[in-house]
Structure 1
């Protein structure tokens, strides 16, 4: 899209420039446009040639040289490394992911010269002289344009993906508050729920607000691994937030090497962070040098130079320091854990300030309805530096551990408020059951956001 806009800008300048210097402008702008925008330059050369012939320009035959200059620019650019090969130096596939089918982009490629031919054909007919005729003539043209744009947007626009694309942008730019505030309950998917829960974890709200949203098993916390770039990116973000650095680095590298040839700066940043955390400074330095060559990530990369070969700076940093402690605990583990639950159970005692890790661990167990493991974890970790306080949702799970023993609840940190509510909930279940009403419907308004309701009525995917 940006390349096409550059094409239109330079072509507009070409059509409005004085005739005496138009040819010189065309010759010099072609290699410049190729350097800026790539193979779109061939469309410029063709369109400029069409313009000269369709307007009967004085230099219409000599303007054929535009095609030669465009071709030479592409060939030279290939040998200088601007294009991977000659095919991508000439064709619009250069702007697309090589793993996708991109035939649709040729419609835009052909549309401009075809429109020029159509306009030249229509100009053969005299425009209406009367005001009414002009209005009809202009109105018909605008109506056709509007119809084409409208149909094009709905056919090619992938509007159903707009919410996910916007959320992904907000996650990439770490705008956690906007991810939460702009979450749309009417457009739900497991991927979007994972993004929302990630934002809640970064804000320290995952445990408190877990059941304020429509959770549906552990895949709303972490998607099943489908070997796609997009899931690899999300997994890297999730593991990094949890403090499982080795997995975060693994998935960042997976996403980076699977991305298109222009690279993946988002994951390159993650590789810099994880290599700084693990003390692999030469590798981090190499990646920083790559990002410093970009426009949009240069400042971020340069700012992280202060951590290179400086253990003290890393360890004193609020985020990197905590992640390094998690990594050291992971590296010193007796065995390698491949799932996040086992990894977090091992990490948390050694890194008690990893609050996001605790929130994810308890959320994994609760959404998976693994009450036995949750009970064991709570008895071993609760009231330690890693787990000082329980949210209401976590307290409600304690009630399920031993539903007929209020004394057990209080011993394990359940507040009087939650205890009284648990007793009221159990009485309500008995009353509704005796009345013959639909239990899920009758309890939803008052208890729909409790863990008891989730435990009883949420049918998880197997």
Structure 2
């Protein structure tokens, strides 16, 4: 083959390799930009990058802290899901690109050409766990790019570069530096002269051990486990991340490509194509299959609901939940919050799943950050502003600064008139990229109660805020509803929560006793589900219903209950037999809930 032909062949092979990289990029971008975008949403809401010296200093006290700092910076851009997916996918693309360059430079054999795609695929798979943080990708990129330049310029650097760079690298990226060290040791053992094959790896290993020992004993006050592995993500909320072990092994064996020599079968056109393209595609297909299984549809729905609640898209969220009913406690908690805030709790709550085994109206105090982050919205909605602030503050202590926690702290301090404290939190939020406008908006309300009163959300919360403090029972949220009503009997939100809680417990006697409160609060009609409870109580002759001055049981409720009861009687009062027929027209009623809760 002449020189021109060889060049064309090389160009075709390179083009094919780059097509695989582009395919991997597209898979990652589509996955995290459109399908599993909840991963980016969760991570962006779980951290807050602040442009300040104080914030930076919190990362300087440990090896790998600056890597975590860079990961938080990257996560900031997840606020825009398309931009976030692009940046994440580009980093994975660069990782695969460098590994491909390393493998090509070490060996002419095509057998290891699956390795770059395998590493990229494992990273995409790992990211499908929404606890898997962005700094891992940056750490891997630093390791493989540094190793590539180490072997490329090895003759000029005369082997001193890894020795010089390792202490600095260990401080910058922590446990990821150990992966680089393993790769360098393997590479030296394979490529060095015979007399250096043992001496150089041992010398470098001694340096690694020395750096780790000095760091642990004299420089940093952290555990032995953290000094060795942090911030390598071997564990997450869901337990050990086995793919991380696979990732580390794949990276560690990259230098072994030097051992591989082209075998005869590779010279055959079909075999060459298989090792270069077929095998990587098979690996990618297998990993995509694993990713598909790893994506949890429940998580997609859960975080979609949470996002709509944070964005105050309450009507859209309620419609989504009606189309996609969920048994998740927090989803139903958010939905009941939305129904309450839009004045529909006692008229539509049974259009959605309600479970008597756990109460989806509120969250009970637990020392779990996932509960602290969300439980305060119930108290904020009721007007218990101090308690909402306490939940947000506890969440900040446990989890650090996050966007929604900071906003809750600011709002509750503004409502309470604690302007100095609110200003402190506002100044923190002003040093962010995507929440600066929110901070500036809240800043205008400092020392301006008139402007605060005009705000639809804060003004309404300030109106129902209780001035009298009382002892909050965080582990008995329903008791706090009674305290609110005792202090402010005209609090409609608290009254509807009281009725809703009684209906969930099927305490009709208490519902009947509470009916006069509806007139006192100015209701023009009895909310649908309360109407249903009272109708059943009256028509079944359970007891006397108090005579109200303005409010009456609706004729519609009486007619619907008669139809409901007639169907039930047709099945000889057999609950199981009547269920399917009753569900067609009555699944969104209090009566159906009582029968089939």
Shared fold by TM > 0.5? yes
Pairing partner for 1:301 from 406, 425, 439: 439
Structure 2 residue aligned with 1:379: 516
Check the 8 A contact 2:492/2:521 in 1, yes or no: no
Question: 1:220 aligns to what SS in structure 2?
Answer: coil
Change (3 A) 1:193 1:368: same
**Aligned ranges for residues 323-362 of structure 1 at < 5 Å?**
323-331=461-469, 339-345=476-482, 347=484, 356-362=493-499
Whether 2:557 is the aligned partner of 1:418: answer yes
Please tell me whether the aligned partners of residues 7 and 44 of structure 1 are also in contact (alpha carbons under 8 angstroms). no
Please say if residues 409 and 422 of structure 2, whose CA atoms lie closer than 8 Å, have aligned partners that are also in contact.
Answer: yes
The equivalent residue for 2:411 is 273
Does residue 312 of structure 1 match 2:450? yes
Contact 2:309 2:317 in 1 (8 A): yes
* 1:292–1:137 Cα change, 3 Å: same
Q: Which has the higher contact order (CA 8 A, sep 6+)?
A: 2
With over 3 angstroms needed to count, the CA separation of the structure-2 counterparts of 1:22 and 1:53, relative to structure 1, is farther
Match of 2:503 in 1: 366
CA distance 1:151–1:450, change in 2 (3 Å): closer
Equivalent position to 2:380, from 236, 240, 254: 240
1:92-107 to 2 correspondence within 5 Å?
92-93=230-231, 102=240, 104=242, 106-107=244-245
Stretch of structure 1 that moved more, 168-177 or 314-323? 168-177
Q: State the Cα distance separating 1:379 from its structure 2 match.
A: 0.8
- Shift in alpha-carbon separation, 1:437–1:363, aligned structure 2, 3 A: closer
User: TM-score, normalised on structure 2?
Assistant: 0.60
Q: Secondary structure at the match of 1:309?
A: coil
Asked if the contact 2:212–2:228 (Cα under 8 Å) also holds between the matched residues in 1, the reply is no
* Distance across 1 between alignment mates of 2:456 and 2:238: 41
Q: Is the 8 A contact 1:222 1:235 kept in 2?
A: yes
Paired positions, count: 448
Q: Provide the C-alpha distance between the structure 1 equivalents of 2:466 and 2:320, rounded to a whole number of angstroms.
A: 37
Structure 2 CA distance for partners of 1:113 and 1:3, relative to 1, 3 Å: same
- Structure 2 residues without counterparts, runs of 5 or longer: 1-132
Q: Does 1:448 align with 2:580?
A: no
- Report the Cα offset of residue 116 of structure 1: 0.7
Say if 2:414 is the partner of 1:282: no
- 1:5 pairs with 2:137: yes
- The answer on whether the counterparts of 2:502 and 2:508 sit within 8 Å (CA) in structure 1 is yes
Match of 1:286, SS? helix
Indicate if the aligned counterparts of 2:174 and 2:229 stay in contact, CA closer than 8 A: no
**CA 1:25/1:3 → structure 2, altered by over 3 Å: closer, same or farther?**
farther
Answer whether contact 1:406 1:419 (CA < 8 A) is retained: no
Quote the Cα distance in structure 2 between the aligned partners of 1:84 and 1:169: 36
User: How far does residue 238 in structure 1 lie from its aligned partner after superposition?
Assistant: 2.2
What secondary structure sits across from 1:307 in the alignment?
coil
Whether the 8 Å CA contact 1:244–1:330 is kept in 2: the answer is no
For 1:320 and 1:66, locate their aligned partners in 2 and report how far apart those are by CA, in whole Å: 61
Compute the displacement of 1:412 (Å): 3.5
The separation in 2 between residues aligned to 1:41 and 1:211, in whole angstroms, is 56
TM-score by length of 1: 0.74
More deviation in 356-365 or 46-55?
46-55
Separation in structure 1 between the aligned mates of residue 444 and residue 246 of structure 2, nearest angstrom: 46
- Once the two structures are TM-superposed, the CA of residue 322 in structure 1 deviates from its matched residue by 2.0
Partner of 1:390: 526
The aligned counterpart of 2:352 is 213
For 1:271, what is the secondary structure of its paired residue?
helix
Relative to structure 1, the CA distance from residue 113 to residue 441 in structure 2 (aligned partners, 3 Å threshold; closer, same or farther) is closer
C-alpha spacing 1:104/1:287, structure 2 compared with 1 (3 Å): farther
Matched-pair contact (CA < 8 Å) for 1:447–1:453: yes
Structure 1 residues 452 and 283: alpha-carbon distance in aligned structure 2, compared to 1, 3 A threshold: same
2:395 pairs with 1:255: yes
Indicate how the Cα distance of structure 1 residues 337 and 157 shifts in structure 2: closer, same or farther if over 3 A, else same: closer
CA offsets per residue over residues 336-360 of structure 1, 9 Å max, x none?
Answer: 6765445445546977996544443
Distance 1:87 1:449 in 2: 54
For 1:111, the equivalent position in structure 2 comes to 249
Give the corresponding residue for 2:13: none
CA contact (8 A) 1:43 1:109 kept: no
